[in-house]
Structures are given as structure tokens and as C-alpha cells.
Structure 1
Amino acid sequence: MNTMKTFLLMAAMTALFMVAGQAMGGQQGMTMALLLAVGLNFFAYWNSDKLALRMNGAREVSEAEARDLHAMVAMLAMRAGIPKPRVYVVDNPTPNAFATGRNPDHAAVAVTTGLMHALDRSELEGVIAHELGHIKNRDILIGSIAAVMAGAISYLANFALFFGGSRDEEGGGNMITTILMMILAPMAAMLIQMAISRGREYLADATGAEICGRPQALASALNKLANQNARQPMDVNPASAQMYIVNPLKGGSISGLFSTHPPMEERIRRLLAM
């Protein structure tokens, strides 16, 4: 099922690239966008984890540097029945975490320094178990590819003015269509991310609760993380926001409608119902 989701994601993002290229630069623009999309899909499959870690300023830590964290990840990975992922830390006071990698054999878990100070042990286990749930369910590749492709589409829209200044003989993009695509293309990419990410979070919550054995602890952690991220948002690339366990960006009533994360109240309700 996740292999099909990954294929559909790549196909949807590629189609979006081609439509944006056609609108901005006619046939030439569509060809360039197609070549770019194919290259990005290939790159994202093999390197999305490295790019995601680099984009978020994560650094790998050894067992000597973070013995307790490594021991906790190893213990929970054994419970989950997956290989122990690499362990990374993001130097940021806001508590949050994410996982990345194309499969359980090539995975990494990253936590912020703020996470390790804000939670007690059972809550921290719940958060790490949630991230291992993403790995166990083999859906972290989907999120990583979505982040890479959405970011690329945003960059494509920023370069739109280079394509949209004139019409070609085949009816290429004009300034109006260029401006429209600059607005609509990133929105479409965001909607694709949103549709994929919300379902993934519910599933990872349930899997994480089973791994750690304490749904209440994960629910408590989510509540703390949501409140602290609302008060102290993280400065991250919006394309990678959907990778985190809670939305790291500042959101309002309107932005909440387009959030890649499901409503926190519903996530907590489902966990407590377990």
C-alpha cells in the first residue's frame, strides 16, 4: 500500500511540475519541468533523508554523547521489531522530533534539544515510539519525498517570472498565468502533502502507543509539544514542517485549515480511547 502511495505521490508531483511548466513557459517550460521532476524524484528517493536532516540542522550523535537517548531508541526499536535507526539531535529549544529515511534499514530519528528537557521519560518514550511507528509503517519515505518535491515546486514558482514574460508560438505562459501559477502551484503541493500527512500521523500515533505501551504518555507529550510549539515556533523550511510530530510553525485559524497535521484534540482523543 505504501509503495503505491509513494508512486502516486511522485506521479502527482510530476504532473504538477509539468502543468506549472506549461503555464509558465509553454512547451519548452513543460519539458524543462518534466526533466527537473524526473531528476528530483530520483534524487529524493536516494537522498531525501540526508537532505531532510541537513535542511533541519540535525547532527548525528554517538552513544558516548547521548547514552540514554541511544538506549531508549534501541529498546523501543527492539519492541517495534525494526533495526535501530541512526540518532540525530537538532539544537533547538522548542521540543519536537521527526523521522526520515527510505526504509527501516536506512532510517534516522531526530529530536530537538528542547524535547529532552521538556518531557519526562515516559513522554519521551512515547514521542520516540511515534517516530519509530513512522519507520515501522514504512511511510517516512512518503513524507521525505513530499518535503523535497514541495520545496522544489515552491522554488519553481519563485523562478516563474523567468518563463512568464512572453508568449511563444505554441501559446506559452503570459504574465497573468505566471502569477496564477506562482500562487496555485505551491498551494497544490501543500494540499497533496496535507492529504498524505494527516492519515500518517493518526497511524503513527496508534503504532507508537502500541510500541511504548502507554497511550496516555504519548497523549500528554503531544499536548505539551503543541502548546510549546504554539508559544515558540521553530524556524524551519515550511516544506519540511509535515515531517515533525507536531506542527513546528506558527499557525492561526486560517492556516490551521491547511495544516499537514490533524487536529491535536482529535489525536489526543484517539490515544486516550486506546
Structure 2
Amino acid sequence: MRRILLFLGTNLAVLVLLSIVAHLFGVDVWAASRGYGGMGPLLIFAAVIGMGGSLISLALSKWMAKMTTGAQVIAQPSNDAERWLLDTVRRHAQAAGIGMPEVAVYDAPEMNAFATGASRNHALVAVSTGLLHGMDRDQVSAVLGHEIGHVANGDMVTLALIQGVLNTFVIFLARIVGRMVDSWLSGGRDDRGGGIGYFIIVIVLEIIFGLFASMIVMAFSRYREFRADAAGAKLAGRERMISALQRLGASYGESTLPKNMQAFGISGHLASGLKRLFMSHPPLAERIEALRRAG
């Protein structure tokens, strides 16, 4: 849950900042003025801003995760629970063939966990105090295996690449369509895409196109949850992974997340219609059924 929100939030902030800086320095106007005659410069501009925002978000992901959750990395275990946590993550990481990630605990009442990082060998795995108190060790081991699965599958890097490509097309198409709309509204007058009206139109189009891009990102996120569940089942045991998901389902309603963020929770709240297109996690019932079918 948190890895998706942190990445998307950071990506959006960086993207907006880079767009504003490009506009202030005239780069945006220069690229837009070539929207018809030569799309190469515009596409290069869109790729630099789009991929740049995504890669910067990926590079900052561990730092942002620690800062926003208050996660405390376990450098030296101070008790048996922390020693068990480190040993379990180390065992799963070795089995998955990745480097030992940093292990952290953050204070939150809901049962939750996340993994993030710019590479498979320099990742962060964090669990909430609510998870440690609300699950037995077999279930926690399965959740840790699920998070190690995300790292081993390279999910954060893949997500960053997908988001970067989508950012590129959003920026590119917003300026092409924005130029056309601005020209139509101005009665065919060609100001080479530099007016304030054009800039406002582009921002609105980026939001609209960005919603469609988010649907693609969320579809990939749902797909990778099934893969991470399978990894958790392989590393910790299928019945333990199923038990962990069932325990999450039993805690429905305990999350302290704001309502506008609850659909992204690890518990995979039920949704239908258009809302389902923006869910980052499949419903728990579907994930459990997928594990049972695989078994």
C-alpha cells in the first residue's frame, strides 16, 4: 500500500515541479512551438521530464518511506522479536537470491507492511507495530515473504519504468492536444503555444490523461500483488500466506488511513465499476482463491 502511495505522490510532485521549472525557463514554450513542425524535440522534452520525474521518485523512495512513516531501521536488534525479524528477512532474502534489505518497524495500529528501494540489493522492508502485535510469527513470516517477493521481482523498478513511459506520453499528448485546443479557442491565431491559456489547458489535459495512465499503473499493481503472494507462499508456505491474508481480512475496518486512501490498503477493500480500475490491490478473497487454485 504505502510503497504505491509514496511512489505516486513523489512522482507527481517531481513531475509538477519539473513542468513548472521548464515553463519558467521557456523550455516548455520552445518544445510546444515545435508541436506540429517537428515532434522530435517535443518528444525528447516529454521523455526527459516524464522519465526524470519517475526515476527521481524511485531514487528517493527509501528516504521518503522512512520520513513519512517514521520507520526506525533495526541496526542492532535490542530484543528477541527484532532478532527474529532480522533472521526471517535474511532467510527469505537468501532464498530469493537478493541482498539483505534494511529492516524497519514503524508505529501504526493497522496490520501493514511495505517494501521499497531503487534496486533488488538495496531495498527496505518495513512492518507496522500493529502487524507484529496482531499476527503470529507464521503469518508475519508470510507477509515478509510477500514483501521480499516484491523486491525480488523488481516491482519498484518496473513500476518506475512504466510510470516514466506513461508520464512521457501524458506530457507529449497534453501539449499536442493543448496546442490544437488553444489554436481553436484563439480563432486560429498562432502564438506558438506560449500563452497562459495554453499552459492552463495543458495542465488540465495532463490531469485528465494522467487519470487514464493511473488505471494502467493500478492494473500492473494488482497483477504484481498476485505474484508477491505466490512468492510469499513459496518462501513461507502456502497455508501461512493464506492464513496471513485471512487475518488481514478479519481486521477490516481497523485502518487509520484517510478514506480517500483506503482503497490502496493492503487488505484490498471491495470495489466495483470504475472504482475497481483505481485499486492498487485485488480484493483479499481473490488473492486467497488464486493461492488455493495454484496449490
Fold match, TM over 0.5?
A: yes
Q: 1:42, 1:232 → 2: CA distance? A: 30
1:245, distance to aligned residue in structure 2 (A): 4.4
Q: 2:263, 2:125 → 1: CA distance? A: 15
More deviation in 229-238 or 44-53? 229-238
1:237, distance to aligned residue in structure 2 (A): 9.4
- Aligned counterpart in structure 2 of residue 62 of structure 1, from 54, 58, 75: 75
2:228 corresponds in structure 1 to 204
Query: Secondary structure of the residue that 2:216 maps to in structure 1?
Result: helix
1:253, distance to aligned residue in structure 2 (A): 4.1
Cα deviation 1:174-227 (Å, max 9, x = unaligned)? 598457436414412321311221121111111211111x21221121122244
1:46, distance to aligned residue in structure 2 (A): 3.2
Q: 1:144, 1:261 → 2: CA distance? A: 17
Q: 1:82, 1:170 → 2: CA distance? A: 51
- Aligned counterpart in structure 2 of residue 74 of structure 1, from 77, 85, 90: 90
1:45, distance to aligned residue in structure 2 (A): 4.4
Q: 2:256, 2:46 → 1: CA distance? A: 33
Q: 1:94, 1:148 → 2: CA distance? A: 31
Number of positions where the alignment pairs a residue of Structure 1 with one of Structure 2: 241
Q: 1:143, 1:55 → 2: CA distance? A: 20
1:53, distance to aligned residue in structure 2 (A): 3.6
1:32, distance to aligned residue in structure 2 (A): 7.3
Q: 2:88, 2:228 → 1: CA distance? A: 18
2:187 corresponds in structure 1 to none
- Aligned counterpart in structure 2 of residue 170 of structure 1, from 185, 192, 197: 192
Gaps of 5+ in 2: 1-10, 36-41, 172-177, 184-189
- Aligned counterpart in structure 2 of residue 27 of structure 1, from 23, 28, 32: 32
- Code of the residue aligned with 2:85 in structure 1: it is L
- Aligned counterpart in structure 1 of residue 215 of structure 2, from 166, 169, 191: 191
Does residue 121 of structure 2 align to residue 105 of structure 1? yes
Q: 1:143 to 1:51 in 2, by over 3 A?
A: farther
Query: Secondary structure of the residue that 2:109 maps to in structure 1?
Result: coil
Does residue 294 of structure 2 align to residue 270 of structure 1? no
Gaps of 5+ in 1: 1-9, 157-162
1:251, distance to aligned residue in structure 2 (A): 6.6
Q: 1:203 to 1:55 in 2, by over 3 A?
A: same
2:4 corresponds in structure 1 to none
Q: 1:63 to 1:262 in 2, by over 3 A?
A: same
- Code of the residue aligned with 2:283 in structure 1: it is P
Q: Calculate the aligned-residue CA RMSD, in Å.
A: 4.1
Q: 1:51 to 1:194 in 2, by over 3 A?
A: same
Cα deviation 1:28-76 (Å, max 9, x = unaligned)? 7979765533432442343333234434432312332422211221222
Question: Which aligned pairs between 1:1-274 and structure 2 lie closer than 5 A?
Answer: 27=32, 35-65=48-78, 66-143=82-159, 169-171=191-193, 173-174=197-198, 177=201, 180-181=204-205, 183-212=207-236, 214-235=237-258, 245-247=266-268, 252-253=271-272, 255-273=275-293, 274=295
Contact 1:119–1:221 at 8 Å: present in 2 too? yes
1:229, distance to aligned residue in structure 2 (A): 4.9
- Code of the residue aligned with 1:189 in structure 2: it is A
Q: 1:232 to 1:48 in 2, by over 3 A?
A: closer
Query: Secondary structure of the residue that 2:118 maps to in structure 1?
Result: strand
Q: 2:105, 2:161 → 1: CA distance? A: 21
Q: 1:234 to 1:146 in 2, by over 3 A?
A: farther
Contact 1:45–1:145 at 8 Å: present in 2 too? no
Q: 2:156, 2:107 → 1: CA distance? A: 22
Q: 2:77, 2:248 → 1: CA distance? A: 27
- Code of the residue aligned with 1:94 in structure 2: it is E
Q: 1:55 to 1:177 in 2, by over 3 A?
A: same
Q: 1:147 to 1:44 in 2, by over 3 A?
A: same
Cα deviation 1:108-142 (Å, max 9, x = unaligned)? 10111111011111111110001111122222323
Q: 2:66, 2:260 → 1: CA distance? A: 12
Contact 2:242–2:288 at 8 Å: present in 1 too? yes
Q: 2:66, 2:263 → 1: CA distance? A: 12
